[in-house]
Structure 1
Amino acid sequence: MRVAVADVGTNSTHLLIAEARPGGFRVLDTLKDRTRLGECLDEEDNITEEGYSCLAHSLRQFRELAASQGVQELRAYATSAMRGAPNGEAVAERLRAEVGVYPVIISGEREGQLTYLGAAGSVHFGLDNLLLDLGGGSLELARGGMGEAARVVSLPLGSVRMHAQFLSGGPASKPPRKPDLNALKAHALRLLSAEIGPFRLESGTRVFGSSGTFETLAAVILARTSPARPSAVNTVQGSEGAGVNGLSFSVAALGDLLQDLCRMTTAKRAKMPGLDAKRADIIVAGALVLHTALELLGAETVTVSAGALREGTLHEYLLEQRDWTSGLPSRQRSVLELAERFGANLAHARQVTLLSQNLYDRLQALGVLPGSHVSGGPAEDDLAANPRSLLSAAATLHEIGLLVGQSSHHKHSAYLIRHAGLLGYDPAQIDMVAQVARYHRKSVPKPSHPEYAALTPADQKTLAQLAAVLRVADGLDRSHSQSVRILDLHRQSKAEQGRGQPGLTLRVSGVHGLELGGVTQKGDLWEQMFGPLKIEVAEA
């Protein structure tokens, strides 16, 4: 299985294509594009047309490269620049429509958690670790154990942001002005001091750093301390940080370097051994923020991790996939094999399956759907007694028809399910799975549809109920971001329903604009079967 992930940052956009292997993954290709999105903002922080064009060009390249490696779907996350832009969601939707990639805008806390996961796969974490991740727009502090972050804070102290705010006013032909440097440091101290308490170091705490700025600073320090190792510096500059992964340097050495950087012009910094010339303008702001943070924390040394957000995204995906497949009963594993054979987007298939099962269980608990099993009763794999299992199969396979074509792919999916040799199901069960998948989009079941008309009235009702659940579940992952979580489903109170027909309220988190539109578009059959559905979005 091959996966492509990308992160859209304030300074640059990265792509990682990898193939799953037992216990991890093998990198097939990477690509980096310095989009400088943080410099393409208007006075209200909206992303400009220039910024959109740069990002669209980059994501098109990424999508084409992923397709050349046999990966049809690119999973992309966007961070600080798009997160802070009032038109960020509109830009993401436009990219989906015009480029075919939807960059999901994630919170700073989510960014820190994923970056921590990526770093944990690149360097050796101990029982107590502190990770600093400095991007172009924000600085994340994440603290946790060997596997995941327990506490994350995100601060608007990114290198591009700080350079633009404090150091861009002076002439490029001269070093930064001392008053500007002092103002930047005072600003960083003010924001950090308010949040630093839970992150102060204890005995045994290991400190790590992730980001292009950390890698560049490590490369320069390596060049300064080991001038006889030019090959090491060249490796650092040409390998996306792999050459400095695991390299430690002292905070004192960083302080010495910072003093020298502050005395140089941008042109002179660009000629420093180990320094990426494209970072020569923003490196002072980044180094100053990091040195301030590390001193405030009480750190003496820091270790560089080349693993970051995109690696964390990939690790999370593989972990979710492993947990999902290991818990499937035998018939559902045969369904998964069919989905893989026809190139389905397994992440989306898994999310829609889990959402469908969750909705089905909650409808049963409310008595809207008849109970199918009780303690000691039939298991999930007993298809004759449990329509939930048919729903699970249809949810996993609902998009396999995309292999044939986008147009009418719901009908193509039904055809493939009927004729692809699905094991462990009798013909009537296969037909039900095929019809539920067929109605996941477009038309609802109608008496004029021959396959639907051939069912008994009882089976027609079951089909319509299952398809109604699948349509809403699919709408809840319209962005293919796998971010939505169902928190509650309850009957509407009189206050909630107003003067309308009684219905149900679904409370969710992690919803994007596409999901809300998807549920509205696909909630027609649900309303026919269960009454009006109101979506309530929980605050992040």
Structure 2
Amino acid sequence: MLQKAMGKQLNNKCNSNLDGSELDWIERKEKKRHLAVIDIGTNSTRMLIFRNDQGKLVRVNKSVRYTRMGQGVNQTGRLHPDAEKRNMEALEEYKNIAADYGVEAFYLFGTSAMRDADNTAAYLEAVKEKLGFEIEVISGEAEAELGFVGVSQCFEEKILIFDIGGGSTEFIYGEDNEIKRMMSINLGCVRCTEEFIFSDPPTFQELERMNEKIYAEFEKKTHGFLPTKPYKLIGIGGTATSLSTIKQELKTYCSEMVHQSTITKDELERMIDSLASKTIKERQNMVGLEAKRADIILAGAFLLLNIFKITGETVFTVCDYDNLEGAAYRHFVMENK
């Protein structure tokens, strides 16, 4: 293998505002009612600022900070103090950005790392005391459901969604905008990197062990879960979008170019060959790859490769709507209908 190796118009422009460095002054000037959701993931902490325009979700700003909350959780079962500090700083920054937009209400949720860590409750209390934020730690199934709600705004046919996160991978199958079944597997790009990759660049043996573990776990856990064909295979989250930007060699993230782009199994195998031959520093200089994702993108690519294997599909479609949009729609749009 290493030898082969929307229904709704997106509001983001093709610029660098995904890192929160540039604020949309037009939105601030219009004084419209802005809301925000924050996803505290295993690898990154993201914020979506949006407005509810008569039941339609209008995205205003999307920011990401790589806080790596999953640092060491797989080994120690606890949130690392450095990870807590990085995340607290990101949340404080997001609170200031949100104030600039006049955000009136927040919903914050934590996923895999916070589900697994024994000391999450203490961290939640620290965030509440310092910043006034309430954080809901959601189950893998709830995370999958939010992902489906986000994607279903863009596709109406039968869909099988995968979301490769830092600590877990979610699968959601739906028809006619309704979830039929979903599941969460405790394999993600941060977790797999920490467990299997120790060399830089990684050795063939390390990658082989990781690949075998992923395939065995996916095959066992998804037995009886996968739907009959035909369906559209949809990828959401940072691994899917990053592989799209690598393929397209995008110097800055462009939602309009990433959304509904496709990646074939052959293209993925070529990217794996390229990524596996490089050191982390060399990957950091690759066009289309965010430097802070350079150490975990290879594990994410192997997770995706094994999704191709277990489904028998040869191509997937990238969706730029995910659990952030799903949380926004579920907690602020649907409840007001």
TM-score bracket, shorter-length normalisation: 0.7 to 0.9
The amino acid that maps onto 2:155 is H
1:8-37, Cα deviation, whole Å (9 max, x unpaired): 001110011111112412222222111111
Conserved 8 A contact 1:16-1:31: yes
The amino acid that maps onto 1:285 is A
2:202 alignment partner, SS class: coil
The amino acid that maps onto 1:200 is L
The residue correspondences of 1:380-395 to structure 2 (distance < 5 A) are none
* Aligned-pair CA distance for 1:242: 4.3
User: What corresponds to 1:75 in structure 2?
Assistant: 107
1:90 aligns with 2:122: yes
User: What corresponds to 1:209 in structure 2?
Assistant: 235
1:461-503, Cα deviation, whole Å (9 max, x unpaired): xxxxxxxxxxxxxxxxxxxxxxxxxxxxxxxxxxxxxxxxxxx
* Aligned-pair CA distance for 1:53: 1.4
User: 1:133 & 1:194 partners in 2: Cα distance?
Assistant: 18
User: What corresponds to 1:116 in structure 2?
Assistant: 148
The residue correspondences of 1:263-342 to structure 2 (distance < 5 A) are 263-323=277-337
Q: 1:180 aligns with which of 202, 206, 210?
A: 206
Distance change (3 Å), C-alpha of 1:43 and 1:275: closer
2:76 alignment partner, SS class: coil
The amino acid that maps onto 2:300 is G
2:121 alignment partner, SS class: helix
* Aligned-pair CA distance for 1:273: 2.4
User: 1:146 & 1:68 partners in 2: Cα distance?
Assistant: 39
* Aligned-pair CA distance for 1:222: 2.5
The amino acid that maps onto 1:183 is R
* Aligned-pair CA distance for 1:41: 4.1
Task: Count residues with an aligned counterpart.
Answer: 305
Distance change (3 Å), C-alpha of 1:297 and 1:83: same
1:36 aligns with 2:78: no
1:389-443, Cα deviation, whole Å (9 max, x unpaired): xxxxxxxxxxxxxxxxxxxxxxxxxxxxxxxxxxxxxxxxxxxxxxxxxxxxxxx
The amino acid that maps onto 2:282 is K
User: What corresponds to 1:154 in structure 2?
Assistant: 184
* Aligned-pair CA distance for 1:294: 1.5
User: 1:82 & 1:297 partners in 2: Cα distance?
Assistant: 29
1:204 alignment partner, SS class: coil
Distance change (3 Å), C-alpha of 1:279 and 1:20: same
Distance change (3 Å), C-alpha of 1:70 and 1:273: closer
1:255 aligns with 2:286: no
1:294 alignment partner, SS class: helix
2:163 alignment partner, SS class: strand
User: What corresponds to 1:60 in structure 2?
Assistant: 92
CA RMSD of aligned residues (A): 1.8
The amino acid that maps onto 1:193 is E
User: What corresponds to 2:164 in structure 1?
Assistant: 134
The amino acid that maps onto 1:203 is K
Distance change (3 Å), C-alpha of 1:42 and 1:273: closer
2:103 alignment partner, SS class: coil
Query: Rg larger in 1 or in 2?
Result: 1
Conserved 8 A contact 1:266-1:281: yes
User: 2:259 & 2:133 partners in 1: Cα distance?
Assistant: 30
Q: Indicate the structure whose relative CO is greater, using CA pairs within 8 Å and at least 6 residues apart.
A: 2
* Aligned-pair CA distance for 1:48: 2.3
Distance change (3 Å), C-alpha of 1:199 and 1:43: closer
Which has more strand, going by share of residues? 2
1:68-101, Cα deviation, whole Å (9 max, x unpaired): 2222432100001111101112211221122211
Q: 1:4 aligns with which of 36, 40, 44?
A: 36
TM-score by length of 1: 0.54
User: What corresponds to 2:48 in structure 1?
Assistant: 16
Conserved 8 A contact 1:7-1:77: yes
The amino acid that maps onto 2:99 is A
Deviates more, 1:66-75 or 1:131-140: 66-75
User: What corresponds to 1:417 in structure 2?
Assistant: none
Distance change (3 Å), C-alpha of 1:151 and 1:201: closer
User: 1:253 & 1:264 partners in 2: Cα distance?
Assistant: 17
1:37 alignment partner, SS class: coil
1:165 alignment partner, SS class: helix
User: 1:310 & 1:52 partners in 2: Cα distance?
Assistant: 21
* Aligned-pair CA distance for 1:248: 1.2
1:225-256, Cα deviation, whole Å (9 max, x unpaired): xxxxxxxx23xx334x4430110121121122
Q: 2:253 aligns with which of 233, 238, 262?
A: 238
Conserved 8 A contact 2:202-2:276: yes
User: 1:254 & 1:48 partners in 2: Cα distance?
Assistant: 33
Structure 2 gaps of 5+ residues are 1-32
Conserved 8 A contact 2:174-2:180: yes
Conserved 8 A contact 1:6-1:15: yes
1:46 alignment partner, SS class: coil
User: 2:178 & 2:119 partners in 1: Cα distance?
Assistant: 32
1:38 alignment partner, SS class: coil
Structure 1 gaps of 5+ residues are 224-232, 324-540
TM-score by length of 2: 0.85
User: 2:331 & 2:69 partners in 1: Cα distance?
Assistant: 26
2:146 alignment partner, SS class: helix
* Aligned-pair CA distance for 1:199: 4.1
Conserved 8 A contact 2:56-2:333: no
Conserved 8 A contact 1:40-1:51: no
Over the matched positions of the two proteins, sequence identity in percent amounts to 28
Distance change (3 Å), C-alpha of 1:319 and 1:197: farther
User: What corresponds to 1:107 in structure 2?
Assistant: 139
* Aligned-pair CA distance for 1:148: 3.4
